[in-house]
């Protein structure tokens, strides 16, 4: 079955949008990677201004390169906020730390945000950008946290989208971060992810591969259905590309198609690991049909909180950043996550906290 059948282009008119939502609600879910469409027809002439890149400084406060001792690995992070626990964000495969830019601009009003460019992505540079094994990526995250915060890290909430959600779960399941106080996983479930791997190479190869300009890449990501929020695409898409001098065009920074040997390791056993994490957990999904049997049972037993975010694509944090930020902040509030467990001023708190 062709996984791209779930996809429609981003609507230009409200009426088309209503029709699209109705159609999408009737379509079966096939691939956890359904946000990557087939090559669309050549786009019409567009305004450069409409698809022009946005500067990350409008959303994050600062950036930093984190060098790992005794290695030629330098990880790039974006940071925002000045106090409270740290929401540590891990993006999906093919994305970058700026995938969380719009939501970070809201989250930072209450807590701190750190968004990492994972190995082989964004502005991060490592000795082996193709080693996307789950063990290596987990070690990367722990090494970055160690370098940034030493032996006295603040309260941390790990937030991971898609592949980054898998990394977040595996890091949490290791139980080696004493300051870990929460786990938020965005639109990745073992059952649907494992079933989708057979389609992954075809999905990757059917992407538009070359772009004459960054503006064209941003336009394609929106019109092709990868992202549904133009502003988020304008900030996040540029760092997923690099200029190829030999081809005289922009190509993808990450080479996911060359990392197939690691894909099963991202998702195998993920549901049990998620349930085993000894911290409050939130699972955000773009559709209920993504839930597998293990998580369905766990959710019925109250082992984690689940929210289905309607009318969004795979990249929930990009498509509806305000709603995503509110969900993360409410999760932090509900579970009283903060420095030394104290309440965070300005956050609405339910009368009876749920754990």
Choice among 187, 221, 232, 319 that is catalytic? 187
Longest dimension (CA), the chain: 61
Tokens of 342: 């104290």
On whether residue 71 sits in a domain, the answer given is yes
Domain assignment present for residue 170? The answer is yes
pLDDT of residue 225: 81
Place of tokens 């993920």: 270
Is residue 353 one of the residues assigned to a domain?
no
Hey, what are 208's tokens? Answer: 């538009």
State the residue range of the domain holding 187: 62-197+263-335
Residues 6+ apart with CB under 8 A from 206: 4, 36, 37, 38, 39
Residue 235 lies in a domain: no
Q: Catalytic: 162?
A: yes
List Cβ neighbours of 332 (8 Å cut-off, separation of 6 or more): 85, 87, 110, 111, 157, 182, 338, 344, 347
Both tokens assigned to 302: 């109250």
* Angle separating helix axes 190-205 and 293-300, nearest 10 degrees: 140
Q: Establish if 66 belongs to a structural domain.
A: yes
Catalytic pick among 31, 105, 314, 333: 314
Interacting residues of 314 by C-beta distance below 8 A, sequence separation 6+: 32, 33, 34, 35, 92, 162, 187, 286
187 is catalytic: yes
Residue of 274, 92, 301, 320 lying closest to 182 (CA atoms) = 274
In a domain, 55, yes or no: no
CATH of residue 276: 3.40.50.1820
Query: Which residues lie across from 78 on neighbouring strands?
Result: 63, 115
Rounded to the nearest 5°, which phi and psi values hold at 214? Answer: -65, -35
SS3 352: coil
Does the residue 158 lie in any domain?
A: yes
Q: How far apart are CA 6 and CA 23, in angstroms?
A: 9
pLDDT tens, residue order, the chain (355 aa): 443 333 333 333 333 444 444 444 444 444 444 444 455 555 554 457 899 999 999 999 999 999 999 999 999 999 999 999 999 999 999 999 999 999 999 999 999 999 999 999 999 999 999 999 999 999 999 999 999 999 889 999 999 999 999 999 999 999 999 899 999 999 999 998 999 999 999 989 888 999 999 999 999 999 988 899 999 999 999 999 999 999 999 999 999 999 999 999 999 999 999 999 999 999 999 977 778 889 999 999 999 999 999 889 999 999 999 999 999 999 999 999 976 444 455 554 444 444 4
| DSSP label of 178 | T
Catalytic-labelled residue, pool 3, 162, 232, 236: 162
Q: Of the candidates 206, 232, 220, 215, which has an alpha carbon nearest to the alpha carbon of residue 312?
A: 232
Q: What are phi and psi of 279, to 5 degrees?
A: -135, 165
Task: Let me know if 99 is a catalytic residue.
Answer: no
Cα 117 off chain centre by: 11
Please tell me the predicted confidence (pLDDT) of residue 40. Answer: 54
Rounded to 5 degrees, what are φ and ψ at 284?
Answer: -105, 125
DSSP lists the bridge partners of residue 283 as 185, 306
CA separation for the pair 291, 297 (Å, rounded) = 10
Residues 6+ apart with CB under 8 A from 236: 95, 96, 98, 99, 101, 227, 318
pLDDT of residue 158: 98
Could you say which DSSP state residue 288 is in? G
Is 233 a domain residue? no
Give the total number of structural domains in the chain.
Answer: 1
Spatial distance between the Cα atoms of 355 and 353, rounded to a whole number of angstroms: 7
């Amino acid at each position: 079955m062709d996984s791209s059948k779930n996809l429609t282009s981003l609507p230009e008119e409200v009426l088309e949008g209503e029709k699209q939502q109705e159609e999408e609600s009737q379509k079966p879910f096939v691939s956890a990677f359904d946000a990557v469409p087939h090559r669309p027809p050549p786009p019409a002439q567009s305004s450069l201004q409409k698809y022009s890149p946005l500067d990350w400084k409008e959303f994050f406060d600062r950036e930093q390169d984190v060098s790992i001792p005794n290695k030629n690995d330098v990880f790039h992070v974006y940071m925002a906020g000045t106090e409270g626990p740290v929401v540590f964000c891990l993006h999906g495969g093919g994305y970058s730390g700026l995938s969380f830019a719009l939501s970070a601009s809201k989250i930072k009003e209450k807590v701190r945000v750190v968004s990492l460019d994972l190995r082989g992505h964004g502005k991060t540079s490592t000795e082996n950008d193709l080693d996307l094994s789950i063990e290596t990526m987990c070690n990367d995250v722990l090494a970055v946290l160690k370098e940034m915060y030493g032996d006295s890290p603040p309260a941390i909430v790990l937030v991971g989208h898609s592949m980054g959600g898998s990394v977040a779960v595996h890091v949490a399941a290791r139980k080696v971060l004493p300051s870990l106080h929460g786990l938020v996983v965005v639109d990745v479930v073992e059952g649907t992810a494992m079933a989708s791997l057979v389609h992954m190479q075809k999905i990757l190869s059917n992407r538009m591969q070359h772009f004459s300009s960054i503006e064209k890449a941003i336009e394609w990501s929106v019109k092709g259905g990868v992202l549904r929020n133009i502003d988020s695409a304008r900030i996040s898409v540029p760092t997923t590309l690099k200029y190829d001098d030999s081809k005289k065009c922009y190509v993808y920074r990450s080479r996911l198609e060359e990392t197939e040997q690691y894909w099963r390791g991202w998702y195998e056993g993920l549901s049990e690991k998620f349930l085993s994490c000894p911290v409050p957990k939130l699972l955000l999904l773009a559709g209920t049909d993504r839930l597998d049997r293990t998580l369905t049972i766990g959710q019925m037993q109250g082992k984690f909180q689940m929210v289905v975010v309607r009318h969004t694509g795979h990249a929930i944090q990009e498509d509806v950043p305000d709603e995503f930020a509110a969900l993360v902040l409410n999760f932090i509030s509900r579970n009283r996550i903060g420095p030394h467990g104290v309440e965070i001023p300005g956050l609405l708190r339910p009368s009876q906290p749920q754990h």
